[in-house]
Amino acid sequence: MSRSICIILSCCALFALAACALTNPEPTRLPSAPAPSATRVVNSPIPNPLIKISNGALQGVIENNIAVFKGIPYAAAPVGALRWRAPQPVADWNDVRRADAFGAACFQPPAKALEGAGAVGALSEDCLYANVWTPNTALDAKLPVMVWIHGGALLQGAGSLALYDGGKLAERGAVIVTFNYRLGPLGFFSHPALDKETPDGPVNFGLLDEIAALQWTQKNIAAFGGDPRNVTIFGESAGAQSVLALFASPRARGLFQRGIAQSAYGIPSHPRAQAQQVGIAVARAVGLDGASATLQELRATPAEKFAATNQRDQMLAPSFVIGDAALPQPILDTFQQGGEASAPLIIGNNSDEATVVELFGIDPASLIDRLGAAKIALKPLYPGVTDNADLGRQVIRDLIFTAFAKRIADAHAARAPSYRYYFSYLAQKLRGAQPGVSHGGEIVFVFDTFDRAPLYQKIVTDADRAMAQRVGAYWFEFARTGVPAPPNEPVWTPSTKAQDAVMEFGDTIALQTNFMKTRLNVFVGLLDALGKLLARDK
């Protein structure tokens, strides 16, 4: 057998094993998902900030000279007859609404938190709430807006996690928005009863929530000092996948001007037919008659029961469903056909992304062992790597994350500037204990939330804080201008298929050319060939 054939079989087998692990996680081992030296633009601390948005008045709080508004409903509670419907408008209120406490997180199964993100707190089906941090509530402030989309495999997480506190980014002069969206089978669901009510209707309800949150931002962010014509969407893991889905979605056009995708993954989306089979299994799991369950019965079933459906045949996580109006076709197809939003994009990943499969109970070394003799074909792509665990971690990282980032960036470069990055700076006191920056490990540097993340509170060093200052500056300048070019920092040039450029955030920040070129070209070529082969078989 030729070496090229061996590499194809090895990579495809490993990709299939890892993708299967991520698509079919073990119960209760699901991931959550899980800077600044600029002049503050706060006019002056305002006790009990009061603003008026489209639905009524909001009373926020001041935290470290930043005005914070928590638990703002951006859509009606998706309960009762509104379960598995597109998000509906919020009813107006007459009195001043207190916005000093986060709303409940969407229903989700219990899981181990990633990167010290912490617990999500109270759960409810009434969970469509947004939170805003702003340094200036003047209507004419026109500050750049950064809307964060949390990760968690489309199954877990919340915009209220302490790791995502927007205070430090807001100090730079941005308005920060976080929000919740429907998760698991309450957020991504297909069933014959739904198709009967709305033929070819929505399936990605959580994605529709994200679009509704952006529509709410367009309508209301000026009241918080933000510029609705300068909105950056950014997110990690499933949040990064959401950023790409919003770039690809016809329903999200004009709702944002740029995006940042942190650790997006190349796991295929589900066709509607598969999603419907999963929906039938979910109906059976909550005690109904599978495919024969009525919509009335499904909507009358307590939400807690749906959150507990975490067996392998009952889950769509961590992928979207293709074939509804929000996501008509696979994300990668849209990018490769040039149909995505023509907005600047930052995309990249971390040095040890394989931690996410370990959260699913998968051992990277065992994946390599299961390849048998075929693993020999992989080794020339990783010179000097002899340990199966290390090889497995690096291959998983590159197949599912690094190669996918390159594929998206190469395709998108024809539409708009595409900036690739690789995050390898590991907090100093974690060195020796971790082989690299884990899945979600860059978030604390983007938000500079060391003091709010239990994992980092006692170990953060001055060097770690300095790196957060620099990373946050790149993210903020990109949001402000569309170009990640903070003063006195290395120039970050866009990457194209012909001119490969990757900014490495390591012990030094430096632009790399031809980054992992040989192996990534092999993987991208193999995955493209595999995609064409699968398309022919449909």
Pairing of strands 501-505, 418-423: parallel
Q: Is residue 525 part of a domain?
A: no
Range of the domain at 308: 3-485
Q: Is residue 508 part of a domain?
A: no
pLDDT (0 to 100) of residue 32? 33
Q: Confidence class of residue 368 from pLDDT cuts 50, 70 and 90?
A: confident
Pairing of strands 270-271, 321-322: parallel
Helix then strand count (H, E) for the chain reads 18, 18
User: 3-state SS string over 280-333?
Assistant: HHHHHHCCCCHHHCCHHHHHHCCHHHHHCCCCHHHCCCCCCEECCCCCCCCHHH
What CATH number has the domain bearing residue 60? 3.40.50.1820
Q: Is residue 21 part of a domain?
A: yes
Higher pLDDT, 533 or 296: 296
Q: Confidence class of residue 153 from pLDDT cuts 50, 70 and 90?
A: very high
**How many distinct structural domains can be found in the chain?**
1
Q: Is residue 506 part of a domain?
A: no
Q: Is 353 a catalytic residue?
A: yes
- Cβ-defined contacts of 383-389 (< 8 Å, 24+): 388/364, 389/363, 389/364, 389/365
Residue of 32, 190, 237, 351 with catalytic role: 237
Q: Is residue 461 part of a domain?
A: yes
Q: Is 210 a catalytic residue?
A: no
What pLDDT digit, counting tens, does each position of 297-340 carry?
Answer: 999 999 999 999 988 899 999 999 999 999 999 999 999 999 99
Q: Confidence class of residue 2 from pLDDT cuts 50, 70 and 90?
A: very low
Residue of 236, 340, 353, 477 with catalytic role: 353
Joined together, the tokens standing for residue 388 give 């199966």
Mean pLDDT along residues 198-223: 97
Q: Is residue 499 part of a domain?
A: no
Q: Is residue 465 part of a domain?
A: yes
What letter represents residue 368's amino acid? I
Q: What span, in angstroms and rounded, lies between the C-alpha atoms of 410 and 346?
A: 12
Q: What span, in angstroms and rounded, lies between the C-alpha atoms of 42 and 450?
A: 23
Q: Where are the alpha helices (DSSP H) in 124-262?
A: 167-172, 184-187, 192-197, 205-220, 238-248
Higher pLDDT, 230 or 455: 230
Q: What span, in angstroms and rounded, lies between the C-alpha atoms of 47 and 430?
A: 40
pLDDT (0 to 100) of residue 454? 85
Residue of 439, 442, 495, 504 with catalytic role: 439
What pLDDT digit, counting tens, does each position of 429-454 carry?
Answer: 999 999 999 999 999 999 999 999 88
What pLDDT digit, counting tens, does each position of 467-513 carry?
Answer: 999 999 999 999 999 999 999 999 999 999 999 999 999 999 999 99
Pairing of strands 175-179, 61-63: unpaired
Q: Is 412 a catalytic residue?
A: no
Mean pLDDT along residues 349-360: 87
What pLDDT digit, counting tens, does each position of 76-128 carry?
Answer: 999 999 999 999 999 999 999 999 999 999 999 987 655 556 678 899 999 99
Higher pLDDT, 377 or 160: 160
Q: What span, in angstroms and rounded, lies between the C-alpha atoms of 262 and 265?
A: 9
Q: Is residue 492 part of a domain?
A: no
